[in-house]
Amino acid sequence: DAEITQSPRHKITETGRQVTLACHQTWNHNNMFWYRQDLGHGLRLIHYSYGVQDTNKGEVSDGYSVSRSNTEDLPLTLESAASSQTSVYFCASSAGSSGTRNEQFFGPGTRLTVL
Amino acid sequence: AQSVTQLDSHVSVSEGTPVLLRCNYSSSYSPSLFWYVQHPNKGLQLLLKYTSAATLVKGINGFEAEFKKSETSFHLTKPSAHMSDAAEYFCVVSDRLSGNTPLVFGKGTRLSVIA
């Protein structure tokens, strides 16, 4: 069965360190997204990609970067982790084009703690 | 620009009584609308979606929602709450005619079900 996975599921790191969160999907979807979830804010979009070599900034992109070298993966990098980036991170993918193909499929999430 | 307002941050119902979670949206385009559910420490799962067919949409687990363009609403209902319905619910909007528009999430409504 097609799926979307994230690793690690839990991560503790220190302020200033570089951290990379992995996202891998086997849906063969063009579109991939990264969100962070914080109490009182719902899900906020960090970065997204509509295909290989395409990346776009979302609502809360400062301090984060992504790259898309293949269809299956969209790793999220925190260049220099800050305590404000402690959060739960969700990756999602969608087929794109119009109508029902807007539906996004979500990974299980990564809980990141920055000390 | 698109936005979603979930009118209640927390709803509490007794088991066996009806559920109503309210959502208003704003969209410059023809919207697609979704409800996602998130159980504690889990990822997001699609409950139902509206993409221009029938205005009354039926989803999983007995939930349904009605698209009312005149009221710009997409409220989620269920006739009889079950303990397993306790979760966080997110109303989501996107541009129906362009699959390449990121989803916009509401801040969520936490549903508690009392035995």
Contacts B101 to A, Cβ<8 Å: 102
User: What is the rounded CA–CA span in Å between residue A81 and residue B108?
Assistant: 27
Q: What is the pLDDT of residue B99?
A: 53
Across the interface, whether the CB atoms of B99 and A106 are under 8 A apart is answered no
User: What is the rounded CA–CA span in Å between residue A36 and residue A57?
Assistant: 13
Residue window 4-63, chain A: list those with CB within 8 Å of chain B: 31, 33, 35, 40-45, 48, 50, 58
User: What is the rounded CA–CA span in Å between residue B109 and residue B85?
Assistant: 12
Tell me the H-state helices in chain B. Answer: none
- Give the tens place of pLDDT for each residue, A14-63: 999 999 999 999 999 989 999 999 987 889 999 999 889 999 999 899 99
Whether A97 has a pLDDT exceeding 60, the answer reads no
- pLDDT band at B45; cut points 50, 70, 90: very high
Q: Given its phi and psi angles, is residue A92 left (phi above 0), alpha (psi -120 to 50 degrees) or beta?
A: beta
Asked if B39 has any chain A CB less than 8 Å from its own CB, the reply is no
- Give the tens place of pLDDT for each residue, B22-43: 999 998 777 889 999 999 888 8
Contacts B42 to A, Cβ<8 Å: 108-109
Across the interface, whether the CB atoms of B90 and A42 are under 8 A apart is answered yes
For chain A, report the end-to-end CA distance as a whole number of angstroms: 37
CA-based radius of gyration for chain B: 14
DSSP assignment letter at B53: S
Residue A13, exposed/middle/buried by CB under 10 A (0-12, 13-18, 19+)? middle
The partner residue sitting opposite A42, judged by closest CB among B32, B100, B107, is: B107
